[in-house]
Amino acid sequence: MSHDEEVSTHRHVKQQLDRISERDGTVRAWVHRHDDDAILGALATAPRGLLSGWTLGVKDVIDTFDLPTERGSPIYAGRTTLNDAACVALAREAGAVVMGKTVTTEFALFTPNVTTNPHNFAHTPGGSSSGSAAAVADGQVRAAFGTQTVGSVVRPAAYCGVVGFKPTHQLVPLTGVATLSHAFDTVGWFTQGVDDAATMFSALTGTAVLTTEQPLRIGRYRSHQWDAATSETVAVMDSACDALCQRSTEVVELDPLPHLESVFEAANTILHYEIVRVFAWEQTHHYELISDLARKMLVRAKDVTHEQYTAAHLTLIAARREHDEFMAVNAFDALLTPSTPGEAPLIKTTGDSVFNRVWTALGVPAVHLPLAMGPTGLPLGVQLTGRSWRDGDLLASAALSEAAFNGDT
């Protein structure tokens, strides 16, 4: 990095720190953070790599050796580890400087925490990667890690108006990430644009995202959950399709796919069965410190039997195979779907993951692209989903789609 680049990076990071000082009392994205001098000093000594000069937020379910990881729960107040999670270690090796730990919901479940939506403090930033999405959206950090078990990268990205990328399940190692569901947990990240999301992907995987100029073939998918979409979501889907068609993209209208009909409930069954067992210790030793909402979920989850759990896994195995064949036979680069039912609701809830669960359960990569502001001044966008293990292809398609949405030549 040249002297001029170092000066520019220092100035930009100082602007981010000033933004935190100005806004942290209302956005409340951080649970622990290094002091400003330590962050600025770390920029000078960080390794040189793809993420040189980047500041990074880390969701508070992901271990860092130099800051506590408290999982959004008083049970883990002050908990520290001797090592970084694998994804954090890889990012640091590529030059990123960890700015701090971002607020998450309790155990990465559904109980709202303190973070607000930077566009309107009365509304939710989404969950459970609330602090990460809000910090990136508010210009407080360049990128941030989140995790998605149902919709916790795509949904907060949509509500906060940033790019959120969830890679193929098991592509990024989960070492050092607190478990919610071993069947579905996936590390993802938030950035301001697709280019930065692709750079993060390259830093974590060691492979470049190759650009493509060929016309895309995208399926506009009206899922079994389509009735949940608000009129503004339908309108933004229409706008996205119009913008893509103007760039010679072939948009194919798709009705609900039979092989996906049972995935939503199968995923719900698996999640509930696993959380009862994942949180066995917390329930036995610290039940009084678990929130009412999480307790109710755990009580309901105990009704799921082992037979139902195994049957749900078999359903997913079949659906994943059929979906990969469907995408290949039809030569789709991606499917275009809603990210959320509509704009971010009021802060008493983290929102609805109805349009995320199926894709997470399938294990396919997914990316949220911001597109417009809704009728109440909150962000709206769309979700692109791809084929498992073809994450680079999805990011290349997302880059072309982003350019179409922005009207870039």
* Residue 142 structure tokens: 């360049």
Strand partners of residue 368: 164, 383
Distance CA 52, CA 87 (A): 16
Name every residue whose Cβ is closer than 8 Å to that of residue 314 and which is 6 or more positions away in sequence: none
Helix (H) or strand (E) holding 99, with range, is strand 97-102
Q: Could you give the 3-state DSSP secondary structure of residue 185? A: coil
Q: Is 132 in contact with 140 (CB distance < 8 Å)?
A: no
* Distance set, CA 276 to CA 116, 151, 163, 192, 294 (Å): 29, 20, 32, 36, 11
Positions marked catalytic: 59, 128, 152
Residues 6 or more apart in contact with residue 46 via CB below 8 angstroms: 52, 92, 95, 96, 97
- Contact partners, residue 408, CB within 8 Å, separation at least 6: none
DSSP secondary structure letter of residue 256: P
